[in-house]
Amino acid sequence: MISAQGLTKKFGSVLAIDNASFTIASGEFVFLIGKSGSGKTTLIRLLLRDLAIDSGTLIIDETDVSKIPFRKLPLYRRGIGVVFQDYKLLMDRNVRENVALPLQLRQVKQAEAHAAVHAALETVGLADKMELFPAQLSGGEIQRVAIARAIVAQPKLILADEPTGNLDPATAKSILKLLRQIHEELQTTVIMATHNAGLVDHSSLRVITLESGKLIKDTQKGKYE
């Protein structure tokens, strides 16, 4: 699914990602950990091709990400669902409309889109709140809407960048449980960047650790260190 070799990204003289190499198989769930500034978000953005690679190779689903022409980036990103710490919902659109956005960009037929939106909201437990607006929801519910939007087109890859960072411990656990449920049901590859040691330590999943842009540890059934 993902193969990175010598992946490097600089911002001026700062090495944000420093010669990182790793592979992630299709259907894996991987935690990405490290202190603030370690490179987690930069790596997420490289996978999304929101940033260009300076050197090295990055192959995702047999596509050389560095060679994707600008005009084909939207097509590439259709295969990726993204969940952000700050949600990035449109406040002037209701839950149903927010979740439907990826399908509108794909010009999916209305009846098919409606069914997909309802199914995604059923998965995250919010089918009864599809006409509400983000301001009417709790933080945990808003993140569930963001997850529904990420999975509505059934992507092969989900990138979750600190999805529990703004949530209380109990809600954070429920969001991780939901992501793991989606991972198991859809067999989607999930990469989750997090600072939450408790979630990592109680999950027994693969953990990739970054420090100052370097990949310093890659452990199956790892812990937060």
3-class DSSP string for 13-45: CEEEEEEEEEEECCCCEEEEECCCCCCHHHHHH
Cα–Cα nearest to 28, from 203, 198, 164: 203
- For residue 38, give the amino acid letter: S
pLDDT in tens, 26-72: 999 999 999 999 999 999 999 999 999 999 999 999 999 999 999 99
> What's the rounded Cα separation, in Å, for the pair 181 and 57?
31
Round the average pLDDT of the chain to a whole number and report it.
Answer: 95
pTM above 0.75, yes or no: yes
> What's the rounded Cα separation, in Å, for the pair 32 and 29?
10
DSSP alpha helices (H): ranges in 65-187?
A: 73-77, 95-105, 110-123, 139-151, 169-186
Q: What is the pLDDT of residue 166?
A: 87
User: Is-contact 192 163, C-beta < 8 A?
Assistant: yes
The reply to whether CATH 3.40.50.1000 applies to domain 2-79+155-219 is no
Q: What is the pLDDT of residue 85?
A: 87
Confidence of residue 157 (pLDDT cuts 50, 70, 90): very high
